């Protein structure tokens, strides 16, 4: 497909042999989905169905193929960028995830969603500069303060800066007392608890991430 030549390198990892040798391609569902995307190219519903099925089957090859088509045909639909970003983030390809974030910042300059993705990605980058830059941008775009305090807290916890994490939660509790039920829980499991069980940081990140997305009305992929 000529469309694939328009893609950024992050989603060009598929080669013809990789696709041609996959038995899933002959399944009736995928045969019909690929035909439908060719016959009715303006209908994004077929791509959405294909993406949903690929995620359900944990078929990353099919998922990338669907996203390749979607990002070219529907470049103004942030939901497809959302899927591509989360795919790269979950795979640990943070460089490619950042590339999609920068694309979203260009295409959706007034949307807080890509800025939040920048913050959540920078949590796992080795330098402070990326987080600080997205933090500055978030303040410029008037991201809600309770979201920023929570991301600051996660940032400090992941970098083992306990005093900084405590201060972030203190500020959160002081400014947003109606949410103390949540900050009290975070304080107990990451600061007051004498020992941290394995995987605690992953659970803490997932919890705060879900909370912040809900506050910002960001859809899940």
Q: Which two tokens stand for residue 1?
A: 């497909």
Structure tokens at 58: 């944990």
pLDDT tens by residue, 125-135: 999 999 999 99
pLDDT, one tens digit per residue, over 37-96 is 999 999 999 999 999 999 999 998 899 999 999 999 999 999 999 999 999 999 999 999
Question: Cα(177)–Cα(136) distance, rounded to whole angstroms?
Answer: 25
Residue 214 to residue 211: CA distance in whole angstroms: 5
| Residue 160 pLDDT | 87
Q: pLDDT value at position 190? A: 80
Hey, what are 18's tokens?
């990789």
Q: What is the pTM of this model?
A: 0.87
Which pLDDT value is given to residue 45? 95
Structure-token pair, residue 100 = 């999609």
pLDDT surpassing 80 at residue 194:
no
Let me know: does 109 contact 115? Beta carbons within 8 Å.
Answer: no
In the block, which residue shows the tokens 């306990």? 162
Cα–Cα distance measured from residue 100 to residue 85, given in angstroms and rounded to the nearest whole number = 6
What number of helices (H) and strands (E) belong to the chain?
12, 0
Backbone angles phi, psi at 59, to 5 degrees: -100, 90
End-to-end CA gap in the chain: 26
DSSP 143: -
Residue 217's Cβ-count burial label (10 Å; 0-12, 13-18, 19+) is exposed
pLDDT score recorded for residue 173? 94
What CA–CA distances, in Å, run from 165 to 34, 153, 155, 187, 209? 49, 5, 8, 9, 16
């Amino acid at each position: 497909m000529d469309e694939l030549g328009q893609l950024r390198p992050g989603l060009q990892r598929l080669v013809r042999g990789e696709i041609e040798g996959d038995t899933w391609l002959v399944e009736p569902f995928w045969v019909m989905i690929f035909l439908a995307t060719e016959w009715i190219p303006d209908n994004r519903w077929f791509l959405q169905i294909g993406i949903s099925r690929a995620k359900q089957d944990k078929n990353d090859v099919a998922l990338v193929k669907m996203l390749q088509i979607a990002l070219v045909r529907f470049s103004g639909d942030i939901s497809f960028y959302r899927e591509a970003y989360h795919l790269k983030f979950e795979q640990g390809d943070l460089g490619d995830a950042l590339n999609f974030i920068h694309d979203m910042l260009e295409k959706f300059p007034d949307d807080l969603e890509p800025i939040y993705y920048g913050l959540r990605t920078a949590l796992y980058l080795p330098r402070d500069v990326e987080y600080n830059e997205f933090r500055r941008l978030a303040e410029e775009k008037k991201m809600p303060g309770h979201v920023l305090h929570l991301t600051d807290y996660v940032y400090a916890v992941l970098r083992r800066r306990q005093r900084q994490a405590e201060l972030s939660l203190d500020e959160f509790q002081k400014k947003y007392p109606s949410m103390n039920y949540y900050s009290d829980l975070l304080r107990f499991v990451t600061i007051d608890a004498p020992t941290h069980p394995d995987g605690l940081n992953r659970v803490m990140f997932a919890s705060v991430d879900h909370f912040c997305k809900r506050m910002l009305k960001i859809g899940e992929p």
